[in-house]
Amino acid sequence: MKQELKEWIVTILIAIVLVIIIRAFIMDSRIVPSASMVPTIQIGDRLFVEKITHRFQGLERGDVIVFEPPAESRLYDDLIKRVVGLPGDTLEMKDGVLYVNNEPQDEPYLAEPILYEFPPVTVPEGKIYVLGDNRNNSNDSHVWGFADLDAVKGKAWITYWPLDRIKHWK
């Protein structure tokens, strides 16, 4: 009886340690609290965020990421946004179109025309420019500026809830 109890305790402790390691270094689960990524991601969607590949392969324009907001944002909870500008990119929003390095971007995931503009800005080294897909209702780089590359916690990997919106992200 004592041996069986000891085995159960060891098994439970190993499981707890594995969960802690996985959540800290490999993958985490997030619940989306706002409409800033609508229509791509809805309020209440649950997704897994993987924390490894961006550290080795870097980020690409179009990646949906979770990151710690910069102090300028006066926000404290992690944000989920789309990367639209990488270090060295020049971005401009005019006539409802995002331009990256003077090239208009095809953004079929946007729900409505963009109602704001911003002049050309160049993304500094160590920074990224992020926007929500719900551009007119998103607190993002067009409001508070650049996000730190080092503040990226991971990339959206799988939307797993609700079941009718399961999606594997690139």
Per residue, the 3-state secondary structure of 115-170, as one string, reads: CCCEEEEECCCCEEEEECCCHHHCCCHHHHCCEEHHHEEEEEEEEEECHHHCEECC
In this prediction, residue 111 carries a pLDDT of: 80
Q: Is 36 designated active site?
A: yes
Q: What is the mean pLDDT of the chain?
A: 92
Catalytic residue among 6, 29, 51, 81: 81
The average pLDDT across 150-168 equals 92
Q: Is 34 designated active site?
A: no
* pLDDT, tens digit, 9 for 90 and up, residues 122-154: 999 999 999 999 999 999 999 999 999 999 999
* pLDDT, tens digit, 9 for 90 and up, residues 14-38: 999 988 888 888 899 999 999 999 9
In this prediction, residue 55 carries a pLDDT of: 86
| CA Rg value for the chain | 19
Catalytic residue among 6, 29, 34, 36: 36
Q: What is the pTM of this model?
A: 0.88
Which domains are assigned to the chain? 29-164 (2.10.109.10)
- The number of residues in the chain equals 170
* pLDDT, tens digit, 9 for 90 and up, residues 57-78: 999 999 999 999 987 777 778 8
Given a cut of 80, is residue 52 above it in pLDDT? yes
* pLDDT, tens digit, 9 for 90 and up, residues 66-123: 999 987 777 778 899 999 999 999 999 999 999 999 999 999 999 888 999 999 999 9
In this prediction, residue 145 carries a pLDDT of: 92
